[in-house]
């Protein structure tokens, strides 16, 4: 062991040509990750004049913030941002509660019916009824064009449930057993022992759910087409980018100018992108945890 450490150290000290080749590849990778984002940021800050003249690459030309003023001035866009934020909050809470309620009982070996329930639940991960049968059900349940459709049908993700269950499995049984001797029931064990020890997995799943909700638009496209007030930001952005709807511009004269629409679209993309880009570097640790926890066999 110590010999290998010495060897590793000596290798660390003198990087070889191979090491530098890899570094160059990684720098290329970083550039490839960032360039598409830079190009849209550049467009959003550029004047339409340069867009038409094909002079925008990865840096703003003719810097201005008028496109952002238009997007921020569009009350529909700002409401959609706020609504998506509220919605994300609700969905996090609802999902965590339901996932805990599902995962925790399934960790009891002594629970009768546990096996069959687990199989029935995991089966739904591999086979679902499909879009049309689901649509028919939602119609019957009154969920069509009802904002609840963005919350209720997604309340448990089987994948997240398995992650949580596996995490609970990792908590030593002895803790629970000693509490049971003191007369604690399952609920007390959950609240007093399991949940306090589970903050990492709760954070992980909460964040998975949050990102999924913030980035989701298809459920709204399928099931909420007639209720534009509750469209999440990504669906509004989808409609803007596909010219189904447009951002209200403050200066109709400028809006006529060729290229202006594209500049405003770019600004809308950036504004929808910023919240998640600000959050993800700080919480990525939890995502990495989740991705590896989920790898454990279901």
Partner 1 sequence: MVKTKDRPRTRISNWKSYWIRHWALYAMLILPIAFFFIFSYMPMVNILIAFKRNNIIAPIMEVPWVGLDNFRWAFENVQFFQAVRNTLMFSALDLIVGFPAPIILALLLNEVKFKKFKKVTQTISYMPFFLSWVIVGGLSIRLLGPSGSVNNILMNWFGLEAPFPFITSGYHWVGTNVLFAVWRGLGWNTIIYLAAITGVNTELYEAADMDGATRLRKMWHVTLPGIRPVIVILFILTIGQIMGADMARYLAMENLLVRDFSLVLPIFVFRWGIQGMQYHRAAAVGLMASIINLAFLFGANMLARKLGGRGLF
Near partner 1 in 169-198, by CB under 8 A:
181, 185-187
Q: How far is CA 238 from the centre of its chain?
A: 17
Helix pair angle (233-241, 75-103), 10° resolution: 130
Nearer to partner 1, 29 or 93 (CB): 29
Site for partner 1 in 6-25 (CB under 8 A): 7, 11-12, 15, 18-19, 22-23, 25
Nearer to partner 1, 51 or 209 (CB): 51
Of 68, 77, 167, 217, which one interacts with partner 1 (CB under 8 A)?
217
> Does the footprint of partner 1 cover residue 211 (CB under 8 A)?
yes
Terminal-to-terminal C-alpha distance of the chain: 34
Distance CA 141, CA 230 (A): 19
Q: Is 246 helix (H, G, I), strand (E, B) or coil?
A: coil
> Does the footprint of partner 1 cover residue 60 (CB under 8 A)?
no
Binding marks (x or -) toward partner 1, 256..295, rule CB under 8 A?
Answer: ---x--x--xx--x--xx--xx--xx--x--xx--xx--x
> Does the footprint of partner 1 cover residue 116 (CB under 8 A)?
no
Nearer to partner 1, 40 or 193 (CB): 40
Site for partner 1 in 119-148 (CB under 8 A): 120-121, 124, 126-137, 139, 141
The contacts of residue 182 (CB under 8 Å, 6+ apart) are none
> Does the footprint of partner 1 cover residue 246 (CB under 8 A)?
no
Of 109, 112, 182, 253, which one interacts with partner 1 (CB under 8 A)?
112
Site for partner 1 in 32-51 (CB under 8 A): 32-37, 39-40, 42-43, 51
The contacts of residue 71 (CB under 8 Å, 6+ apart) are 77, 247, 264, 267, 268, 271
- Tokens 């609802």, residue located: 94
Distance CA 193, CA 189 (A): 5
- Tokens 């998506």, residue located: 84
């Amino acid at each position: 062991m110590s010999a290998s450490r010495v060897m590793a150290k000596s290798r660390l000290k003198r990087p070889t040509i191979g090491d530098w080749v890899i570094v160059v590849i990684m720098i290329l990778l970083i550039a490839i990750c960032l360039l598409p984002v830079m190009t849209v940021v550049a467009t959003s800050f550029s004047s339409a004049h340069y867009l038409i003249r094909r002079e925008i690459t990865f840096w703003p030309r003719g810097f201005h913030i008028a496109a952002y003023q238009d997007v921020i001035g569009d009350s529909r866009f700002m409401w959609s941002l706020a609504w998506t934020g509220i919605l994300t909050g609700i969905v996090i809470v609802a999902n965590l509660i339901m996932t805990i309620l599902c995962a925790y009982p399934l960790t009891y070996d002594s629970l009768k019916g546990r096996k069959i329930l687990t199989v029935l639940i995991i089966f739904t991960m591999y086979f679902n009824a499909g879009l049309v049968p689901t649509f028919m059900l939602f119609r019957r349940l009154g969920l069509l064009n009802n904002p609840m459709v963005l919350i209720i049908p997604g309340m448990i993700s089987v994948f997240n449930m398995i992650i949580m269950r596996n995490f609970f499995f990792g908590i030593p049984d002895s803790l629970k057993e000693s509490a049971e001797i003191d007369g604690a029931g399952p609920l007390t064990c959950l609240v007093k022992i399991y949940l306090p020890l589970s903050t990492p997995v709760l954070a992980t799943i909460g964040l998975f759910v949050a990102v999924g909700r913030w980035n989701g638009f298809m459920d709204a496209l399928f099931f909420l087409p007639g209720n534009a007030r509750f469209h999440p930001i990504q669906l509004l952005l989808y409609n803007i980018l596909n010219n189904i709807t447009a951002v209200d511009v403050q200066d109709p004269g400028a809006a006529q100018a060729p290229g202006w629409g594209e500049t405003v679209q770019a600004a809308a993309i950036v504004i929808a992108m910023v919240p998640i880009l600000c959050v993800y570097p700080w919480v990525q640790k939890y995502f990495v945890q989740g991705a590896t926890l989920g790898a454990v066999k279901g």
